[in-house]
Chain A
Amino acid sequence: GAVVSQHPSWVICKSGTSVKIECRSLDFQATTMFWYRQFPKQSLMLMATSNEGSKATYEQGVEKDKFLINHASLTLSTLTVTSAHPEDSSFYICSEGSNTEAFFGQGTRLTVV
């Protein structure tokens, strides 16, 4: 299966600061990557679709100016949580979208204090 590497695995930041999460495809070129968010005891919810070389597509209710997605190369997509607040604390997970069977990154546990 495809290998997707996500970094960092956890981060604690102060309220009002920004945090960048990286998602790398290690063994293939990913024109599309997906970003999900998972709150405690809830399921994964799609936040946005990251498209290489073009703007990301955001799901309804997800603020595009708050969650900045950059997919500048075929192997790297980044999600930046800007002006983070405690309610943004969650588990963020990326996956590649070029194959039918999605493989996920390791996830990033974000805690905003």
Chain B
Amino acid sequence: QKEVEQNSGPLSVPEGAIASLNCTYSDRGSQSFFWYRQYSGKSPELIMSIYSNGDKEDGRFTAQLNKASQYVSLLIRDSQPSDSATYLCAVDTGRRALTFGSGTRLQVQP
């Protein structure tokens, strides 16, 4: 079993719709969870971090964490073509180095 699992996609949504990205992790002791956006050929860019159960909102982005279910999600409201990228879920299992999922490719159709 992979430590951090994501659906590879592509996830295709029309412009203006809500994109929902999901991630599960295996280490119950994980404390910190992150969503990164990566454009092709570029380095990952931090979108959201979340540390406690519940929702965390930042602009068009909402991260959701459920530690009991070992589940993290990212919602992107009013999706724009510029949101088209690969979204990486990352977990800090206590080492400070991050364990990444394989990423979900999001395509926002104009």
Q: CB distance A44 to B97 under 8 Å?
A: no
Q: CB distance B92 to A100 under 8 Å?
A: yes
The answer to the question of B80 belonging to the interface, with a C-beta cut-off of 8 Å to chain A, is no
- Contacts across chains A and B counted by CB atoms under 8 Å: 50
Q: CB distance B44 to A49 under 8 Å?
A: no
7 contacts between A and B (CB under 8 A): A34-B97, A43-B103, A44-B88, A44-B98, A100-B92, A102-B46, A104-B45
Within 8 Å by CB of A46, from B41, B45, B97, B103, lies: B97
In the assembly, what is the distance between CA of A91 and CA of B44, in Å?
A: 12
Residues of chain A having any CB pair with chain B under 8 Å = 1, 6, 32, 34, 42-46, 49, 91, 93, 95, 97, 100-107, 109
Q: Which residue of B lies closest to A47 (CB)?
A: B97
Q: CB distance A43 to B97 under 8 Å?
A: no
